[in-house]
Amino acid sequence: MKQNHVHHASELPNELLLAPPFVLAVLIYLLLGLVSNQRHKRWPIFRYICWLSGVLCAAAALIGPIADRAHENFTAHMVGHLFLGMLAPILIAYAAPMTLLMRTLSVGHARKLSGVLKSFPVSIYCHPIVASIFNIGGLWILYTTELYSAMHHYALLHLVVHLHVFLAGYLYTTSIIYIDPIPHRYSFIFRTIVLILSLAAHGVLSKYIYAYPPAGVPIEQAQAGGMIMYYGGDIIEMGLIVLFCQQWYKAARPRTIVSISD
Q: Are 94 and 50 in contact (CB under 8 A)?
A: yes
Average pLDDT score, the chain: 89
Number of structural domains found in the chain: 1
Evaluate whether 157 touches 145 at the Cβ level (below 8 Å): no
**Does any domain span residue 256?**
no
Any domain includes 98: yes
Residue 257 inside a domain? The answer is no
User: What residues make up the domain containing 137?
Assistant: 2-251
Name the 3-class secondary structure at 108.
helix
38-67 pLDDT, tens digit each:
888 999 999 999 999 999 999 999 998 998
pLDDT in tens, 181-211: 887 889 999 999 999 999 999 999 999 999 9
* Of residues 134 and 152, more confidently modeled: 134
Q: Is the CB of residue 65 less than 8 Å from the CB of residue 24?
A: no
Does 262 fall in a domain?
Answer: no
Q: Is residue 258 part of a domain?
A: no
For residue 116, tell me if it sits in a domain. Answer: yes
Section 2-31 average pLDDT: 70
**What pLDDT is stored for residue 236 in this prediction?**
95
Percent of the chain topping pLDDT 70: 91
* DSSP state for residue 152 in the 8-state scheme: T
3-state helix, strand, coil in the chain (%, to 5): 80, 0, 20
Q: Render pLDDT for 107-118 as a digit per residue (tens, 0 to 9).
A: 888 888 888 888
Number of Cβ atoms within 10 Å of the Cβ of 188: 16
Q: Is the pLDDT of residue 258 over 60?
A: no
Residue 260 located in a structural domain: no
47 contact partners, CB below 8 Å, separation of at least 6: 33, 94, 95, 96, 100
- pTM of the shown model: 0.88
Question: Are the CB atoms for 88 and 57 separated by under 8 Å?
Answer: yes
Is 261 a domain residue? no
Region class of 215: left (phi > 0), else alpha (psi between -120 and 50), else beta: beta
